[in-house]
């Protein structure tokens, strides 16, 4: 059997130059998939950061809203689990070189999907993270691994009978059809298509194993946990980062949003109970949106539509900062006026009119 030709100097140099990008993108996707499986909030319907809550938020702002309504929300749980496994597989493929271009194509597809859903409402566009990831995966897809850190070419794997025989790399862009055919049809090795199927199968099996280990670890760490997910634990809110709004950066203690009373024809609560609780989530009977009723330190009572004006996530009142924070992208709003303290949005929250009965202290919506 002829000796396979090694990667050309140009291919290897390209692979080495793109290695930092490859490690970052692959490592991030691997971490993202495991993060979903390790977080107990992801499949908890009552958590504001669950996959169900996120899809409902995306339904409002995304151009894929009708598809999310018909397919995404009814199948939220299996979609979330498959997305986590896909991210793990893409990360492993990028880091190991197994089915590298297939993994890069998957990373490109998922990044574009996230851009059309989670990042669609971000303005200006360059503040969103998903388009840069899409550009990174497209670059890796076009250039390939250059024969660098290709696990399938390791000597101990080549000794396994027929699984990963050494092969010459597929020539870079610009090679003739004959050169490409010669690179994939060496004597004694599988065709390029069969090799891709073998590598993809190994990658899928590894993803299931790693994902299963993540699920078992989560259950061992949190007996009786309610989900496999991504995002902060219910009852906490990520603090907004420093930005143009100059918002707080310390980790706040949040009043977690949870299903509350519907104001239709009734009283939400009374002044004394609200002062003790600090805030109360409720459902606006007119719009169907979540709302939040707040008792401010100065004794004033205000109510807002709790739908973030950026991408439709549900904001949460943080008493420590007297601010309403979005757990999805870090937007912050003033709890007195609803004005924006920190982007990515520049549209304030909608203030809801309320009525306080002076004799009984009962609080209800007046509009």
Predicted pLDDT at 151:
81
Q: Which of 151, 146, 137 is nearest to 97 (CA)?
A: 151
Predicted pLDDT at 224:
46
Predicted pLDDT at 255:
40
Residue spans in the chain of domains classed CATH 2.102.10.10? 269-365
The first and second tokens of residue 299, run together, are 């004794």
Q: How confident is the model at residue 179 (pLDDT cuts 50, 70, 90)?
A: low
pLDDT tens digits for range 209-267: 999 898 888 777 664 443 333 333 333 333 333 333 333 333 333 344 444 555 545 67
Q: What are phi and psi of 17, to 5 degrees?
A: -65, -35
Angle at 230 between CA 58 and CA 61, to 5 degrees: 10
What average pLDDT does the chain have? 76
Task: Tell me how long the chain is.
Answer: 367
pLDDT, greater one: 275 or 5: 275
> How, if at all, do strands 340-342 and 332-334 pair?
antiparallel
pLDDT tens digits for range 104-160: 999 999 999 999 988 887 767 887 789 999 999 999 999 998 888 888 666 545 555
CATH homologous superfamily of 269-365: Rieske [2Fe-2S] iron-sulphur domain (2.102.10.10)
Q: What are phi and psi of 294, to 5 degrees?
A: -130, 135
pLDDT tens digits for range 300-331: 888 898 888 877 788 888 887 788 888 777 78
Q: How confident is the model at residue 7 (pLDDT cuts 50, 70, 90)?
A: low
The secondary structure of 79-91, three-state, reads HHHHHHHHHHHHH
In order of 45, 62, 86, 141, the CA distances from 67 in angstroms are 20, 10, 20, 28
pTM across the whole model: 0.62
Q: How confident is the model at residue 207 (pLDDT cuts 50, 70, 90)?
A: very high
Edge-to-edge strand ranges of the sheet holding 290-295: 279-283, 290-295, 301-305
Q: Which of 189, 230, 281 is nearest to 85 (CA)?
A: 230
Q: How confident is the model at residue 360 (pLDDT cuts 50, 70, 90)?
A: confident
């Amino acid at each position: 059997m002829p000796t396979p030709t090694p990667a050309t100097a140009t291919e290897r140099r390209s692979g080495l130059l793109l290695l930092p990008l490859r490690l970052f993108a692959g490592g991030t996707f691997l971490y993202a998939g495991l993060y979903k499986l390790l977080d107990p909030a992801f499949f908890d319907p009552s958590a504001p950061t669950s996959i169900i809550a996120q899809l409902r938020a995306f339904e409002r702002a995304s151009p894929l809203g009708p598809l999310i309504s018909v397919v995404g929300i009814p199948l939220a749980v299996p979609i979330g689990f498959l997305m986590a496994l896909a991210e793990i597989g893409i990360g492993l493929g990028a880091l190991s070189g197994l089915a590298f271009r297939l993994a890069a194509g998957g990373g490109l597809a998922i990044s574009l999907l996230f851009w059309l859903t989670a990042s669609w409402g971000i303005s200006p566009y360059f503040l969103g993270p998903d388009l840069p990831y899409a550009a990174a995966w497209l670059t890796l897809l076009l250039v390939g691994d250059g024969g660098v850190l290709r696990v399938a070419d390791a000597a101990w794997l080549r000794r396994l009978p027929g699984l990963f025989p050494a092969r010459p790399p597929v020539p870079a862009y610009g090679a003739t059809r004959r050169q490409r055919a010669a690179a994939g049809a060496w004597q004694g090795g599988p065709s390029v298509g069969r090799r891709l199927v073998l590598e993809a199968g190994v990658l899928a099996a590894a993803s299931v194993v790693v994902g299963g280990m993540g699920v078992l670890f989560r259950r061992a760490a949190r007996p009786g946990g309610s989900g496999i997910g991504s995002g902060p634990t219910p009852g906490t809110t990520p603090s907004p980062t420093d930005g143009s709004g100059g918002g707080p950066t310390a980790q706040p203690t949040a009043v977690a949003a949870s299903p509350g009373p519907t104001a239709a024809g009734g009283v939400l609560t009374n002044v004394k109970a609200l002062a003790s609780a600090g805030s109360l989530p409720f459902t606006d009977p007119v719009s169907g949106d979540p709302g939040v009723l707040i008792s401010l330190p100065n004794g004033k009572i205000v109510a807002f539509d709790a739908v973030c004006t950026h991408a439709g996530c549900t904001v949460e009142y943080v008493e420590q900062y007297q601010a309403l924070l979005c757990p999805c992208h870090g937007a912050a709003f003033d709890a007195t006026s609803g004005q924006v303290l920190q982007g990515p949005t520049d549209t304030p929250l909608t203030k809801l009119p309320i009525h306080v009965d002076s004799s009984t202290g009962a609080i209800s919506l007046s509009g």
